[in-house]
Amino acid sequence: MSITQQLSTKHLLGIKYLTSEDIHLIFETADSFKEVINRPIKKVPSLRDITIVNLFFEDSTRTRISFELAEKRLSADVLNFSASSSSVKKGETLLDTVNNILSMKVDMVVMRHPAPGAPHFLARHIDANIINAGDGTHEHPTQALLDAYSIREKLGTLEGKKVAIFGDILHSRVALSNIFCLKKLGAEVIVCGPPTLIPKHIHELGIGVEYNVRKALEWCDVANILRIQLERQDIKYFPSLREYAQYFGINKALLDSLDKPIVIMHPGPINRGVEITSDVADSEHSIILQQVENGVAVRMAVLYLLAARG
Ligand code: CP
């Protein structure tokens, strides 16, 4: 595979720093890789001799496996690092950890970290390409790219489409990256959730806010339903999960009462019976597993384009 265009950036720190041309280039490149990973031989030599380390300071299932698979499909050499079984436990700093790893001639770093801005900090101090795999409550750019790519695949375009993001917007890096990405691609965006879980100044991002789930569902073409992030909540934002499910959960009866189909998305992990019922998550309107499948092709595209950028 060869490309003539380049990304405008050496790192993928957030969707905020991408142009709409960058996003379209990632999608067109992902289209080619999606074709590759559906062949009997799913591997291409594009990143042979490139070494990538996956640094995970926070738990992950989808993102970690998806990056590792994307790297292996591109024939990169892959190192996996988990903070919980490393010398971070003995007090080693992030910069020391990364510099030690880079002295082993690593070209790219994929990092998930609980601190917002941690990948930006690394990008200021080291030469390798950095990919943000989620930094605290800040951004999760590859999740937003695979979400938008999945909507494009389902509806043909993002331009003019109405996307509602439901749930714990306050603690969600997926929400912020999705808002940046969807807006850059011409979609209309609203968020919906309890007032305590909607950031006060969110309308400054050029989006709407709706507190009534039915009204938000009636408005949208796509519902992206997010998890309540209890692990990031140090105070109570709503009385109980049961009450949350009753007032803000999305169930089949609610969807069936609308007179139109809606594309159902969720970045995972799902809390079944809280923000979404199983019969919605597993319904014919759900593209949740297509999101996961597309994540590999999108991450292959990001890795390939950043490696080409050098
Ligand atoms: N969507 C997502 O980031 O899932 P993981 O936390 O399992 O990687």
Q: What is the pLDDT of residues 199-234, one digit of tens each?
A: 999 999 999 999 999 999 999 999 999 998 877 777
Catalytic residue list contains 260: no
Q: Which two tokens stand for residue 293?
A: 């499948």
Catalytic residue list contains 112: yes
Q: Which two tokens stand for residue 141?
A: 């750019």
Distance 209 CA to ligand 1 centre (A): 25
Catalytic residue list contains 113: no
Spans of the chain below 50 pLDDT: none
Long-range CB pairs of 123-129 (<8 Å, 24+ gap) are 123/10, 123/11, 123/13, 125/95, 125/98, 126/98, 126/99, 126/102, 127/102, 128/102, 129/10, 129/11, 129/306, 129/307, 129/309, 129/310
Q: What is the pLDDT of residues 154-190, one digit of tens each?
A: 999 999 999 999 999 999 999 999 999 999 999 999 9
Residue of minimum CA distance from atom 4 in ligand 1: 62
- Which atom, in ligand 1's list, is nearest to the CA of 61? 7
Picking from 85, 95, 99, the residue whose alpha carbon sits closest to that of residue 57 is 85
Pocket residues for ligand 1 (CB within 6 Å)?
60-64, 134, 140, 143, 267-269
Q: Which two tokens stand for residue 139?
A: 């951004």
Residue of minimum CA distance from atom 3 in ligand 1: 63
Extract the runs of DSSP E, i.e. beta strands, from 243-284: 263-265
Q: Which two tokens stand for residue 236?
A: 């109570």
Catalytic residue list contains 62: yes
Its pTM stands at 0.96
